[in-house]
Amino acid sequence: MEEDLVLKVEDLHKYFMVGNELLRVICGIDLRVPRGSFWALVGESGVGKSTLLHILGLIDKPTRGEIFINSKPASNLSDKEAAALRNSTIGVVFQFHYLLPEFTALENLILPQLMARKDMKTARDRASYLLDEVNMGSRRNHYPNQLSGGEQQRVAFARALTNDPDIVLADEPTGNLDEQNSLVFQGIIMKMIEKLGKTFILATHDLKFSTIADRIIRLHEGSASDETGEIKRKYG
Protein backbone atom coordinates (compact mmCIF):
# COMPACT_ATOMS: atom_id res chain seq x y z
CA MET A 1 0.00 0.00 0.00
CA GLU A 2 1.19 3.52 -0.79
CA GLU A 3 0.96 4.64 2.84
CA ASP A 4 3.53 1.95 3.77
CA LEU A 5 6.13 3.53 1.45
CA VAL A 6 8.50 6.01 3.04
CA LEU A 7 10.12 6.72 -0.33
CA LYS A 8 8.93 6.36 -3.91
CA VAL A 9 10.93 7.24 -7.04
CA GLU A 10 9.40 7.36 -10.51
CA ASP A 11 11.34 7.55 -13.79
CA LEU A 12 14.37 9.25 -12.24
CA HIS A 13 17.02 10.67 -14.58
CA LYS A 14 20.23 12.60 -13.92
CA TYR A 15 22.42 14.02 -16.69
CA PHE A 16 25.61 16.06 -16.53
CA MET A 17 27.41 18.05 -19.22
CA VAL A 18 31.09 17.09 -19.40
CA GLY A 19 32.63 19.46 -21.90
CA ASN A 20 30.43 19.07 -24.98
CA GLU A 21 29.28 15.58 -24.03
CA LEU A 22 26.04 14.73 -22.22
CA LEU A 23 26.76 12.15 -19.51
CA ARG A 24 23.71 10.10 -18.52
CA VAL A 25 24.37 8.82 -14.99
CA ILE A 26 20.85 7.76 -14.00
CA CYS A 27 18.36 6.70 -16.66
CA GLY A 28 14.78 5.98 -15.62
CA ILE A 29 15.10 4.43 -12.17
CA ASP A 30 11.95 3.46 -10.24
CA LEU A 31 12.02 2.54 -6.54
CA ARG A 32 9.35 1.75 -3.95
CA VAL A 33 10.90 1.65 -0.48
CA PRO A 34 8.74 0.33 2.39
CA ARG A 35 9.00 1.88 5.82
CA GLY A 36 11.50 0.15 8.09
CA SER A 37 13.32 -1.74 5.31
CA PHE A 38 17.07 -2.01 4.68
CA TRP A 39 18.23 -1.56 1.06
CA ALA A 40 21.74 -1.93 -0.34
CA LEU A 41 22.88 -0.20 -3.54
CA VAL A 42 25.79 -1.99 -5.20
CA GLY A 43 27.76 -1.53 -8.40
CA GLU A 44 31.14 -0.52 -9.73
CA SER A 45 32.68 2.87 -8.98
CA GLY A 46 31.22 5.61 -11.13
CA VAL A 47 27.84 3.95 -11.81
CA GLY A 48 25.90 6.61 -9.91
CA LYS A 49 25.43 5.25 -6.39
CA SER A 50 26.52 8.49 -4.71
CA THR A 51 24.58 10.57 -7.25
CA LEU A 52 21.42 8.60 -6.53
CA LEU A 53 21.87 8.98 -2.77
CA HIS A 54 22.41 12.72 -3.14
CA ILE A 55 19.17 13.00 -5.08
CA LEU A 56 17.25 10.83 -2.60
CA GLY A 57 18.68 12.95 0.20
CA LEU A 58 17.53 16.17 -1.51
CA ILE A 59 21.13 17.35 -1.69
CA ASP A 60 20.92 17.39 -5.50
CA LYS A 61 18.00 17.62 -7.94
CA PRO A 62 17.15 15.13 -10.68
CA THR A 63 17.18 16.19 -14.32
CA ARG A 64 13.69 14.77 -14.48
CA GLY A 65 11.53 12.33 -12.57
CA GLU A 66 9.59 12.36 -9.33
CA ILE A 67 10.54 11.70 -5.70
CA PHE A 68 7.91 11.22 -3.01
CA ILE A 69 8.82 11.18 0.70
CA ASN A 70 6.01 10.01 2.95
CA SER A 71 3.73 10.39 -0.10
CA LYS A 72 4.63 14.08 -0.52
CA PRO A 73 6.31 15.25 -3.77
CA ALA A 74 9.87 16.40 -3.14
CA SER A 75 11.47 16.74 -6.59
CA ASN A 76 10.82 20.43 -7.20
CA LEU A 77 11.18 21.98 -3.78
CA SER A 78 13.09 25.21 -3.32
CA ASP A 79 16.49 24.93 -1.66
CA LYS A 80 14.98 26.21 1.60
CA GLU A 81 12.07 23.75 1.45
CA ALA A 82 14.40 20.85 0.57
CA ALA A 83 16.71 21.70 3.48
CA ALA A 84 13.77 21.82 5.91
CA LEU A 85 12.43 18.45 4.73
CA ARG A 86 15.89 16.91 4.75
CA ASN A 87 16.63 18.11 8.28
CA SER A 88 13.36 16.70 9.63
CA THR A 89 13.10 13.47 7.63
CA ILE A 90 16.50 12.31 6.34
CA GLY A 91 19.76 11.41 8.05
CA VAL A 92 22.95 11.09 5.98
CA VAL A 93 26.18 9.21 6.72
CA PHE A 94 29.08 9.82 4.32
CA GLN A 95 32.24 7.79 3.71
CA PHE A 96 34.14 10.61 5.40
CA HIS A 97 32.63 11.48 8.76
CA TYR A 98 32.65 15.30 8.41
CA LEU A 99 32.55 15.85 12.16
CA LEU A 100 33.19 19.43 13.23
CA PRO A 101 36.74 19.35 14.67
CA GLU A 102 36.21 22.16 17.18
CA PHE A 103 33.34 20.34 18.90
CA THR A 104 33.29 17.21 21.06
CA ALA A 105 31.40 14.08 20.02
CA LEU A 106 28.50 15.13 22.24
CA GLU A 107 28.47 18.66 20.84
CA ASN A 108 28.52 17.33 17.26
CA LEU A 109 25.22 15.61 18.05
CA ILE A 110 23.73 18.53 19.96
CA LEU A 111 24.34 21.14 17.25
CA PRO A 112 21.98 19.79 14.55
CA GLN A 113 19.23 19.53 17.14
CA LEU A 114 19.68 23.13 18.21
CA MET A 115 19.46 24.10 14.55
CA ALA A 116 16.13 22.25 14.49
CA ARG A 117 15.06 24.48 17.41
CA LYS A 118 15.14 21.82 20.12
CA ASP A 119 15.95 22.99 23.63
CA MET A 120 19.37 22.25 25.09
CA LYS A 121 18.22 19.64 27.63
CA THR A 122 16.29 17.67 25.00
CA ALA A 123 19.23 17.88 22.60
CA ARG A 124 21.77 16.82 25.23
CA ASP A 125 19.64 13.89 26.40
CA ARG A 126 19.09 12.66 22.85
CA ALA A 127 22.79 13.02 22.03
CA SER A 128 23.82 11.10 25.14
CA TYR A 129 21.32 8.33 24.43
CA LEU A 130 22.53 7.86 20.84
CA LEU A 131 26.21 7.88 21.80
CA ASP A 132 25.47 5.15 24.34
CA GLU A 133 23.64 3.16 21.65
CA VAL A 134 26.69 3.20 19.35
CA ASN A 135 29.04 2.36 22.24
CA MET A 136 30.57 5.83 22.33
CA GLY A 137 29.17 7.08 25.63
CA SER A 138 32.56 6.94 27.33
CA ARG A 139 34.08 9.07 24.55
CA ARG A 140 31.38 11.76 24.43
CA ASN A 141 33.71 14.53 25.60
CA HIS A 142 36.49 13.69 23.16
CA TYR A 143 37.20 15.75 20.06
CA PRO A 144 37.28 14.08 16.61
CA ASN A 145 41.09 14.14 16.46
CA GLN A 146 41.11 12.13 19.70
CA LEU A 147 38.98 9.36 18.17
CA SER A 148 39.92 6.51 15.84
CA GLY A 149 38.44 6.31 12.35
CA GLY A 150 35.92 3.70 13.47
CA GLU A 151 34.93 5.79 16.48
CA GLN A 152 34.49 8.89 14.34
CA GLN A 153 32.22 6.99 11.96
CA ARG A 154 30.10 5.72 14.84
CA VAL A 155 29.65 9.30 16.05
CA ALA A 156 28.72 10.35 12.51
CA PHE A 157 26.13 7.57 12.35
CA ALA A 158 24.68 8.65 15.69
CA ARG A 159 24.58 12.25 14.45
CA ALA A 160 22.49 11.14 11.45
CA LEU A 161 19.86 9.88 13.90
CA THR A 162 19.67 12.96 16.12
CA ASN A 163 16.54 14.47 14.59
CA ASP A 164 14.76 11.10 14.47
CA PRO A 165 14.69 10.81 10.64
CA ASP A 166 12.40 8.43 8.76
CA ILE A 167 15.17 7.57 6.28
CA VAL A 168 18.92 7.11 6.83
CA LEU A 169 21.16 7.23 3.74
CA ALA A 170 24.74 5.98 3.95
CA ASP A 171 27.34 6.42 1.23
CA GLU A 172 30.12 3.82 1.61
CA PRO A 173 30.19 4.29 5.41
CA THR A 174 32.71 1.46 5.91
CA GLY A 175 34.88 2.41 2.90
CA ASN A 176 37.69 3.86 5.04
CA LEU A 177 37.51 1.30 7.86
CA ASP A 178 39.60 -1.82 8.36
CA GLU A 179 37.82 -5.18 8.47
CA GLN A 180 37.46 -5.30 12.26
CA ASN A 181 36.02 -1.78 12.54
CA SER A 182 33.82 -2.41 9.52
CA LEU A 183 32.27 -5.45 11.21
CA VAL A 184 31.71 -3.49 14.43
CA PHE A 185 30.05 -0.69 12.49
CA GLN A 186 27.86 -3.12 10.55
CA GLY A 187 26.68 -4.67 13.81
CA ILE A 188 25.78 -1.24 15.19
CA ILE A 189 23.84 -0.37 12.02
CA MET A 190 21.80 -3.57 12.22
CA LYS A 191 21.08 -3.04 15.91
CA MET A 192 19.82 0.48 15.30
CA ILE A 193 17.71 -0.55 12.30
CA GLU A 194 16.01 -3.23 14.36
CA LYS A 195 15.66 -1.12 17.50
CA LEU A 196 14.52 2.16 15.93
CA GLY A 197 12.70 0.80 12.87
CA LYS A 198 14.36 3.24 10.49
CA THR A 199 14.45 2.88 6.73
CA PHE A 200 18.10 2.47 5.73
CA ILE A 201 19.58 2.80 2.22
CA LEU A 202 23.26 1.95 1.93
CA ALA A 203 25.63 2.35 -1.02
CA THR A 204 28.51 -0.08 -0.65
CA HIS A 205 31.28 -1.94 -2.46
CA ASP A 206 31.19 -4.57 0.31
CA LEU A 207 29.13 -7.38 -1.21
CA LYS A 208 29.25 -9.34 2.05
CA PHE A 209 27.71 -6.39 3.87
CA SER A 210 25.03 -6.00 1.19
CA THR A 211 23.80 -9.57 1.69
CA ILE A 212 22.32 -8.70 5.09
CA ALA A 213 20.01 -6.14 3.46
CA ASP A 214 16.34 -6.85 2.79
CA ARG A 215 16.81 -5.79 -0.81
CA ILE A 216 19.88 -5.50 -3.05
CA ILE A 217 19.75 -3.10 -6.01
CA ARG A 218 22.56 -3.14 -8.57
CA LEU A 219 23.23 0.00 -10.59
CA HIS A 220 24.67 -0.48 -14.07
CA GLU A 221 24.82 1.93 -16.99
CA GLY A 222 22.25 4.21 -15.39
CA SER A 223 19.63 1.57 -14.67
CA ALA A 224 18.78 -0.43 -11.56
CA SER A 225 18.15 -4.17 -11.29
CA ASP A 226 16.93 -6.12 -8.29
CA GLU A 227 19.42 -8.79 -7.22
CA THR A 228 17.65 -9.65 -3.98
CA GLY A 229 16.49 -13.11 -4.95
CA GLU A 230 13.54 -15.05 -3.60
CA ILE A 231 15.22 -16.19 -0.38
CA LYS A 232 16.18 -12.69 0.73
CA ARG A 233 13.04 -10.93 -0.53
CA LYS A 234 10.91 -9.48 2.28
CA TYR A 235 9.22 -6.62 0.49
CA GLY A 236 7.41 -5.96 -2.77
pLDDT surpassing 70 at residue 51: yes
What is the pLDDT confidence band of residue 226, given thresholds at 50, 70 and 90? confident
pLDDT, residue 227, reads: 67
Section 58-83 average pLDDT: 90
pLDDT of residue 2: 59
Beta strands in 2-154 (DSSP E): 5-18, 21-34, 38-42, 64-69, 72-73, 90-93
- The predicted model gives 40-68 an average pLDDT of 89
pLDDT for 53: 92
Topology (CATH level 3) of domain 36-64+75-232? Rossmann fold (3.40.50)
Residue 136, phi then psi, degrees to nearest 5: -120, 15
Reported pTM? 0.84
pLDDT of 43 reads: 83
Give the domain ranges of the chain: 36-64+75-232
Mean pLDDT of 161-190: 84
What is the structure's pLDDT at 44? 81
What pLDDT is stored for residue 234 in this prediction?
Answer: 37
Minimum mean pLDDT range among 32-36, 113-117, 209-213: 209-213
Distance of alpha carbon 213 from alpha carbon 48, whole angstroms:
19
